[in-house]
Structure 1
Amino acid sequence: MSEAQAGKPRVVIVGGGAGGLELATRLGDKYGRKGRLDVTLIERNRTHVWKPKLHEIAAGSMDIAAHEVDYLAQSYWHGFRYRIGEMIGIDRERRQVLVAPYLDAEGREVTPKRSFDYDVLVIAVGSQNNDFGTPGVAEHAIKLESQADAKRFHERMVNACIRAHAQSSPLGEHQLKVAIIGAGATGVELAAELHRTTREVVAHGLDQVDPQKDIRITLIEAADRVLPALPERVSKETEKLLVRLGVNVLVGAKVSVVGSDHVSLTDGRTIPAELIVWAAGVKAPDSLKEIAGLETNRINQLVVRPTLQATRDDNIFAIGDCSACSWGDRGNVPPRAQAAHQQASHLYSQIPRHLRGEALKDYRYRDFGSLVSLGEFSTVGSMMGALVGGSLVFEGLFARMMYLSLYKMHEHALHGSVKVALDTLARLITRRTEPHVKLH
């Protein structure tokens, strides 16, 4: 089965993350509404949440219902088509994307195996954590790669607090202990958020739990400092704050095995834990590895030229975390939301040029630095890292406002100014009448 509309150039975007959804929305608004392009977004989830917010969902400090974007509604409002499913292959000769059957939670088929014709294909399937083959990770650790992962962690966290409150016997060694493996942005932000939200959960009547004595968060990092990708001063300030909050920070600690209730380190230490999160390493999905004969690197990213075209096919582009785009002598463009946003904006102007047979302009990554939110406690970061050598380090309220502005830029790209303003006002109002932490 092939789905397409005759007479219009067909743009198929696979992956509805930050870059893919922004690109589909902008192309749909300008060209899809006017019937000049047939734009289709293929995504296996029904709703979108900005990936840097997953740690807040996991900790319970953000209500997902107030922030998720319904793909079907977004496509209706913005002139593109949303089709549910997961890409399982590409037929480059016929220019078709192959999509697996979609099954519901009970295993019943919702949509059959399908194919979608394209003139331009954009792959934007994002990334996932790389467990480097560490034993026990798949069985016992939660990876914060999706909304489902974040919801599952949050439910287990709340249940752990309720269980500890209700039991009459003393707490076990591993109970109410969380081990977070990987002290990059996700791990650090989750540790800070959990410090607050676990205490807020037990404050709602679970008085048999002593948060100071019973709740323990351990952050484990193989490198010699937290946030190893950021300037050293940012790392030092962040570690000081985490230690001040009571987080047990272990650096230079490599994980050998993840068990059901503990983490074993290569130096022989054992960290007891009821909840284990793996937040270390990044790679593109395994399904991309040498897909359709396209060039991929060792972490499954599609290798692209400066135009963001695949090295072996002019009609296939890749953006975001799944794209290996050169950044000169600094390696590849880092897997950050700002890169996906920039690449989506670049392709928005270049895809029409490609369809007209015109030469494409090269994409150039602009590094605006990095920001790490430590919840209500602080925000730290480095601004304009590429322009000033990473020497401009800032924190506090200004950094917090910059962090929030990144999310507002994403919302603005999807919804426009009026809806963003109204949604922000609505969240401020409801926040005054609801718990500041999700309790279920």
Structure 2
Amino acid sequence: MTESTTLPATTKVLPVGDDTSLPHIVIVGGGAGGLELATRLGDRLGRDRWWRKKQARISLIERARTHIWKPLLHEIAAGSMDTAQHEIEYQAQGYWHGFQFRYGEMTGVDRKKQLVYLAATYDEDGREITPVRSFRYDILVIAIGCVGNDFGTPGVTKYAIMLDTPEQAERFNRRMINACVRAYAQEGPIRPGQLDVAIIGAGATGTELAAELHQTARGVVAFGLDKIDPEKDIKITLIEAAPRILPALPEKIAEAVAETLRDLHVDIRTGSPVTEVTAEGVKLANGSFVPSELVVWAAGVKGPDVLAKLDGLEVSKSNQLVVTETLQTTRDPNIFALGDSAYLVPEGATAPIPPRAQAAHQEASHLYTEIQRKLKGEPLRPFHYRDFGSLVSLGHYSTVGSLMGFIIGRSFFIEGLFARLMYRSLYKMHEMALHGPWKVALDTLSRTLTRRTEPVVKLH
């Protein structure tokens, strides 16, 4: 057993308060894929119905208490989305959909005993909420997503903010608002770089954040901070080590997005690896310096460190769990991985399935049927990923709107209103998987009405 699974002798397998004669399916991670899988399995297997009895116990382990769809984090960081209207409480979702929510962070597994270990949790005053504990599983699904990869760059941890969680996104938003208020209240002039934003990494998250920030920063200033001139005092710099922005997407999309960002006066620095982040700004490999006291790191992702300590399970160079075509880990058929935690190179492909929301959604749908087959003792079928294209949202700018490379047999390019509707439909598909059509329709109507009576940007 690895060091991460060595626990004090007092650690016990806690009872789940349920019929232990039923198979126990444990899902670790409440992101898009994990929560969709827990919800669907809970509805299907986790409760008694008049036409069938409960067939399994479903548990969802998650270190947060609420769920936000990760592709929306850039909107939270920019302040253009009200988190309270979009977050889902795991405890309530489990009650409504037949699964148990277990609050805590996974620290390791014991494959021989089929145990998953959780760290203790504490409140803001340091008081223990839940103790160190463990749960026995029959089937374990790991879906804890990915985290930002700073590649060992000096200063990133101390001076930059990553966008892995809603808390980090909200932290950046507060820092941006406080910087604007501070600049407005100070006696002297605004210093160079004081309100500038450097976004390191021009993938989808970085480019979408640049467009959102251009709009929302001006919205914040418009609410009485008239000392600040957005055109002169706020500069957004998008930094990318690759030769162009959006290096993983078709070049036509990248060119169109770059043109729009330049129209918004976003400074794009491509072919510019970052060597250090300081309190005053960002140092580039070519010797130049980008003054900025607000820095976002969105330059790469990797699997969380805990994945390398799961009792010998195989991991990739990017610290993701290596899985077979059935999404089972290579060294344990009772442990599955999906979403950003899984590393799978499809047959005939040269690269792994990309860490996208559509991949997590497809893998969750696949495991929903395959786990039921496993419980019946039937052979598992391979997962086949279908790339439905890539969408990049540039906020509310009508000149470009949303861009999409949509692949059905071959690629073609769309933009404007249709692309924007397609982008929003991805989130609606996620909501539909969790709530069904009626609740999604009512929630959408409620958000639409509420936005008419609130500021268009977050001001605190």
Structure 2 SS opposite 1:289: helix
State how far apart, in whole Å, the 1-side matches of 2:280 and 2:110 are: 45
- Counterparts of 1:304-383 in structure 2, within 5 Å, are 304-328=323-347, 329-377=349-397, 378-383=401-406
| Alignment of 1:429 onto 2:449 | yes
Q: Which residue of 2 aligns with 1:303?
A: 322
1:126-172 CA distance string (max 9 Å, x none): 00111100000011100000011011000011111111111110111
Question: Which of 171, 177, 199 is matched with 1:158 structurally?
Answer: 177
| Alignment of 1:392 onto 2:381 | no
Contact 1:290 1:296 in 2 (8 A): no
Q: Does 212-221 or 328-337 show the bigger shift? A: 328-337
Q: Does 320-329 or 208-217 show the bigger shift? A: 320-329
Q: Which residue of 2 aligns with 1:25?
A: 39
What percent identity do the matched residue pairs reach?
A: 59
Contact 2:207 2:238 in 1 (8 A): yes
Q: Which residue of 2 aligns with 1:15?
A: 29
State how far apart, in whole Å, the 2-side matches of 1:331 and 1:120 are: 28
Question: Which of 48, 68, 73 is matched with 2:87 structurally?
Answer: 68
Q: Which runs of 5+ in 1 are unaligned?
A: none
State how far apart, in whole Å, the 1-side matches of 2:292 and 2:126 are: 33
Structure 1 SS opposite 2:25: strand
| Alignment of 1:291 onto 2:314 | no
Contact 1:255 1:266 in 2 (8 A): yes
For 2:452, the aligned partner's letter is R
| Alignment of 1:228 onto 2:231 | no
Structure 1 residue 94 displacement after superposition: 0.7
Q: Which runs of 5+ in 2 are unaligned?
A: 1-11, 49-53
Question: RMSD between aligned alpha carbons?
Answer: 0.9
Q: Which residue of 1 aligns with 2:51?
A: none
- Counterparts of 1:202-281 in structure 2, within 5 Å, are 202-281=221-300
Structure 2 SS opposite 1:280: coil
Structure 1 residue 356 displacement after superposition: 1.7
Structure 2 SS opposite 1:12: strand
For 1:429, the aligned partner's letter is L
State how far apart, in whole Å, the 2-side matches of 1:274 and 1:148 are: 19
Deviating beyond 4 angstroms after TM superposition, the runs of 4 or more aligned structure 1 residues are none
Structure 1 residue 330 displacement after superposition: 3.4
Structure 1 residue 327 displacement after superposition: 2.2
State how far apart, in whole Å, the 1-side matches of 2:360 and 2:327 are: 12
Structure 2 SS opposite 1:333: coil
Structure 1 SS opposite 2:311: helix
Aligned length: 437
Question: Which of 120, 140, 144 is matched with 2:159 structurally?
Answer: 140
| Alignment of 1:184 onto 2:207 | no
State how far apart, in whole Å, the 2-side matches of 1:265 and 1:108 are: 44
State how far apart, in whole Å, the 1-side matches of 2:208 and 2:315 are: 31
- Counterparts of 1:29-68 in structure 2, within 5 Å, are 29-34=43-48, 35-68=54-87
Structure 1 residue 420 displacement after superposition: 0.1
Structure 1 residue 290 displacement after superposition: 4.5
Contact 2:325 2:346 in 1 (8 A): no
For 2:424, the aligned partner's letter is L
Structure 2 SS opposite 1:293: coil
Question: Which of 138, 150, 153 is matched with 1:131 structurally?
Answer: 150
State how far apart, in whole Å, the 2-side matches of 1:56 and 1:92 are: 40
Q: Which residue of 1 aligns with 2:113?
A: 94
